[in-house]
Structures are given as structure tokens and as C-alpha cells.
Amino acid sequence: MHQPYYTNLLTKESPSPWVRLHATKDYSDMVLILEKFPKIHLTFNLVPSLVEQIEDYIHNSIRDAFEIISQKRTSELTEQDKHFIRRNFFKIDPQRVISRFPRFYQLYHKALSNAAFTEHDYLDLVVCFNLAWIDPYFRQSMPELRRIVSKGRFFNEEDKQIVLEKQREIIRQTLPTYKKFIARGQIEVSTTPFYHPILPLLYNTKIALEANPKTHIPADVVFNYPQDARAQIFNAVDFMEQHLNRKPQGMWPSEEAVSEHILPFIIQSGIKWIVTDEAVLFKSTGKKRSGKTLYQPYRLEREDGVLNMVFRDRNLSDLIGFIYHRWKTEDAVNNFMHHLQNIHHLFKDDDCLLTIALDGENAWEYYPNDGCDFLNLLYQKISDADFIKTVTVSEYLETHPAQQTIKKLKAGSWINGDFQKWIGNQYKNKAWEYLAQARKLLTNPQAPIPNPELAWKQMYILEGSDWFWWYGDKLPEFDALFRMHLSNFYRIIGKEPPEYLNSPLEPA
């Protein structure tokens, strides 16, 4: 479960609504569904940058641009507000989500035809958008939302306020829900370096060449701050211990990006296990892909201690993440169970560990009914099967210690086993160059920094993976966020932001 850090540290406003909206659609209901399936044990990963922003919403210390406009009475909307609503309030899957709400779908087609909107069209659109982002679990279980869904159209300002208030109520449930299921022993919560950085690239951008020698790294600048990688790990472990009342045992390195260099920091933090992609396993062992190699944990015995590793089955994980949403629910679940049967036949009576690891939020809006039908049927079939037992990673390691070791961990991630999603094209490299120039100012400040704690926080935010991910894909939203954060860094340390931050790094 991950969102990058959207909030402007100086204004306390977020230009993006995705923490709030995903918190109403994905984070709690994926745990609450387990009430019906006590045999299902799952490991959830919470990234601190997400949890911090959820907490800020709970304490009303931030608001996002979408929420601010949603709160306005429709009669008070400016033409600029209306333009914003028409441009942004259809941002959810049209066929799987918008089409389930007749009024929403009608307005969607009205917008496509560039027809004029009435005042009530804008009111209905704001209600429909915020309502559609609430998971079906809550739309059905909360009587007030059930009534508004049944009403369907001709909403009033009171209906809108109810939807927005229920969003806040759902957000407030998030962490207590996780704590409840942790206490039951049905879930484990692992974490990620605080602001989701690519740890090996923080350590040294030259490590990208270890993963793929053909990577075009910045020619004149090396980002080389191992201490930042260490801080992102230790800060995450401390933060999650404070918020969940127990220290996390596991870590999902951001984008499953790992290298030998970062292992000492992870071990020193007290983390017992990490997860990464199968490509890293086969690069590290030199073995060809096989179930016998993949379906087991590994030990990494190093000078600083021992770390366990599990490696995800990329094919089965990606079937759920990217493929099954196109299939009929029964066909998808039956296909998945067929794969599990084949693995069972391969191992016969021997034990094995199959690791399925995938994005916890972005897949579901492409599934019918936000994935509820798929997950319910999948969990039921797994619960009924006599050859499968679901376990958290720590549960498995406690009873089945790793027998195999890895002498040297090769650098890589879940994307093609390298780091080219975050470094290597001219725009990504330019972002690294800008970041390196700013980072030097913390190492060798020319004058006392007015607010060093805030400056360090802003720098750690800038080290997050998401800004680099999107360069090359012409997504101006993330370019604007990166430049906002970087401009704020200069303001925080008492300097004027460089002129080049006034223009996009990547031309439209």
C-alpha cells in the first residue's frame, strides 16, 4: 500500500487527492474482507509516506485541491473551479466504475460531447465522483451511503457533505483496522523505506550499472549518499513501531529494489526479512527459473547479522495485478487455482512457500465491483482447498527456517531486474542532477539552515521513487510535484529556487 508524499510542506495542501480517495477505496476493506475468511492469513505492506498522510487527514492538518473544491457550495463555484471539476472528476475507470452509476455515466458522455453543464450537473458530478471512489463494502454497509446510492441523482448539498464526512470516517478506521487484525494474528504488516526511495540508487547511482551495464547514468554527477538510505530505513522502522505499537519484522524495499550494499542497513535496523522479485534470485544464484529454486526462503548471512529473503512469483503476482481484471471472475479464480494445483503436484508431499506480492491499490478499480467479487471467490476457494495453507512471512519463517543461502545479492528490482524505470533517460537523469545539486547544500551548507529538520524531511521526500518513475511518460502531474518539492527545499534552506525549476523537465 503506497502513495508518494504529495503534500506541500509550506502550504499544507496537496494538489492530488489519491491518499484520501484510495483510503476510502482500498486500504481498510482489503483487511475487513478477512472477517469472512479466518483461514486466510495475509501480509500487508504499509509505506510510511502513505501512513503519515493518512494521519494528517485524520488530524485535519492537510486538505487536497479536490476536497477543497468538493466542499464548496455549487452556487459559489467559479468558472475556474468548474473547469477543474470537468477536467479532473472523471478520473476513475469509465467502464468498470463510472458506468455502474447511471448519472455519473450520463455526465461522462455529456463532458465528452463538450455539452454545457448546469449547476446541478456540477453538484451531481462532485457527489458521483467522491461516492464512486468509496469501496462497495462501505457503500453497502453504511446506511447513509446506501441511501445516496439509491437516490442516484438530483443530489443536494447535504448529500454531498454526507459523502465527504463518510470519507473521513473511513479514513479514521484505517490504522485501527490493521491493529485489530494484527492482534488477531491474521495479518502481518511490513514496511518500506520512509519516502519510498530506490535504496541502491541513493547509495550510489553507479549501482544501476551493476543491474544493467547498458544503463545511461548521468555523466557528470553521481548521487552517493549511503547515509540517506540508512536514514530512510531506520526512520521507517521507528515510525511504524510508533503507529502500530509493534516493530515491523519485514520490509518491502521500494519497488523491490535491492543490492548487496544496502543489506547492512536493513539488518542493523532489526528487520528480519525482505521481499523482492524472482529475477533477483535467479541473477544472484545463476540458476534457471524453476519452482524448486523459487518456492522457498533464503538466508543471507552477513557480517552484521542474518537476513531472510523471499522472492515473489512474478507470473502469478502479475496475473492478479494486470491480467485477471479482463477475465470473468470464475474463470480468473479457477485459472489461479489451477496454477496452485500444478505447484502442489510438482512438490507432492513436500512443503514449499509460494510468494504472491503485488500492488495493493491500483489493480482493483479495473476489476468488476472493485475486485470484491474476485477476492471473495479466491479466498473462499483457497479456504476450501486441502492442499494450501496461507501464512504471513514471519509465520512461515518461524516454523520453516530457510535452508538455502545466497552468497552475494545481485542488484535489481521488480521491473526487468534493473533500475531503468528510475534512471537512464535524459529526463530521469536531469532530475537526479537537480537533486544532487540540492543535496550538496545539506552536506556543505554555506550558512546555517533556518529549519534543518524540515529541510531534511523535504530532501528525503525528494528522494522518493515516484518522481523518477514517470519521467519519459509525459505525465506533467509528477513533474510538477517534483519541481514543487525541490523549489520548497530551496525556500526552506533560505535560498531562491533556481530559475530552471520554473519550467517542466520534460517537454509536453
Tens digits of per-residue pLDDT, 212-234? 999 999 988 999 999 999 999 99
CA separation for the pair 507, 224 (Å, rounded): 28
Largest separation between any pair of C-alpha atoms in the chain: 68
3-state SS, residue 248: coil
Nearest CA among 451, 441, 489 for reference residue 467 = 489
Over residues 195-206, the mean pLDDT reads 98
pLDDT exceeds 90 at position 474: no
Crossing angle of helices 48-58 and 226-244, in 10° steps, is: 50
3-state SS, residue 118: coil
Mean predicted lDDT score pLDDT of the chain: 97
Over residues 111-126, the mean pLDDT reads 98
Own/partner long-range contacts of 444-450 (Cβ < 8 Å, ≥24 apart): 445/493, 447/494, 449/492, 449/493, 449/494, 450/492, 450/493, 450/494
Tens digits of per-residue pLDDT, 384-429? 999 999 999 999 999 999 999 999 999 999 999 999 999 999 999 9
3-state secondary structure string across 456-487: HHHHHHHCEHHHHHHCCCCCHHHHHHHHHHHH
CA separation for the pair 310, 45 (Å, rounded): 14
Sole residue written with cell 514449499: 352
Nearest CA among 135, 15, 132 for reference residue 66 = 15
Nearest CA among 311, 262, 308 for reference residue 287 = 311
Instruction: Tell me the C-alpha to C-alpha distance, in Å, between residue 449 and each of 207, 351, 444, 453, 491.
Output: 31, 57, 11, 9, 10
pLDDT exceeds 80 at position 264: yes
DSSP 24-47: IIIITHHHHGGGG-TT--EEEEE-
Model confidence at 13, in pLDDT bands (50, 70, 90)?
very high
CA separation for the pair 84, 65 (Å, rounded): 10
Task: Write down the pLDDT at residue 497.
Answer: 98
Task: Write down the pLDDT at residue 89.
Answer: 98
3-state SS, residue 270: coil
329, 373 in Cβ contact below 8 A?
yes
CA separation for the pair 449, 455 (Å, rounded): 8
Which class for 114: exposed (0-12), middle (13-18), buried (19 or more C-beta within 10 A)? exposed
Over residues 343-352, the mean pLDDT reads 95
Task: Write down the pLDDT at residue 20.
Answer: 98
DSSP 55-81: HHHHTT--EEHHHHHHHS-GGG--HHH
pLDDT exceeds 90 at position 508: no
pLDDT exceeds 90 at position 445: no
Task: Write down the pLDDT at residue 350.
Answer: 94
Nearest CA among 504, 470, 472 for reference residue 487 = 504
pLDDT exceeds 80 at position 274: yes
Instruction: Tell me the C-alpha to C-alpha distance, in Å, between residue 428 and each of 217, 419, 422.
Output: 9, 11, 6
Q: What percentage of the chain carries pLDDT values higher than 90?
A: 97
Task: Write down the pLDDT at residue 219.
Answer: 87
CA separation for the pair 94, 112 (Å, rounded): 12
3-state SS, residue 21: helix
Task: Write down the pLDDT at residue 502.
Answer: 97
Sole residue written with cell 523537465: 505
Task: Write down the pLDDT at residue 103.
Answer: 98
CA separation for the pair 485, 6 (Å, rounded): 9
Distance between alpha carbon 498 and the CA centroid of its chain, in Å? 31
Nearest CA among 360, 285, 279, 281 for reference residue 314 = 279
Over residues 286-306, the mean pLDDT reads 97
3-state SS, residue 412: strand
Q: What dihedral angle (degrees, nearest 10) is formed by the CA atoms of 145, 151, 157, 162?
A: -10
Taking domain 192-405, whether its CATH number is 3.20.110.20 is answered by yes
Which class for 165: exposed (0-12), middle (13-18), buried (19 or more C-beta within 10 A)? exposed
Pinpoint the alpha helices (H) of 185-276. Answer: 199-203, 207-211, 226-244, 263-268
Task: Write down the pLDDT at residue 399.
Answer: 96
Model confidence at 360, in pLDDT bands (50, 70, 90)?
very high
Sole residue written with cell 518539492: 485
Over residues 128-155, the mean pLDDT reads 98
Residue 218's Cβ-side half-sphere holds a number of Cα atoms within 13 Å equal to: 21
Task: Write down the pLDDT at residue 437.
Answer: 96
Q: What percentage of the chain carries pLDDT values higher than 70?
A: 100
Q: Where are the domains of the chain?
A: 13-37+60-170, 192-405, 438-502
Task: Write down the pLDDT at residue 355.
Answer: 98
Strands 305-312 and 298-302: antiparallel
Over residues 172-190, the mean pLDDT reads 98
Tens digits of per-residue pLDDT, 228-256? 999 999 999 999 999 999 999 999 999 99
Tens digits of per-residue pLDDT, 298-344? 999 999 999 999 999 999 999 999 999 999 999 999 999 999 999 99
Instruction: Tell me the C-alpha to C-alpha distance, in Å, between residue 13 and each of 7, 313, 371.
Output: 6, 39, 31
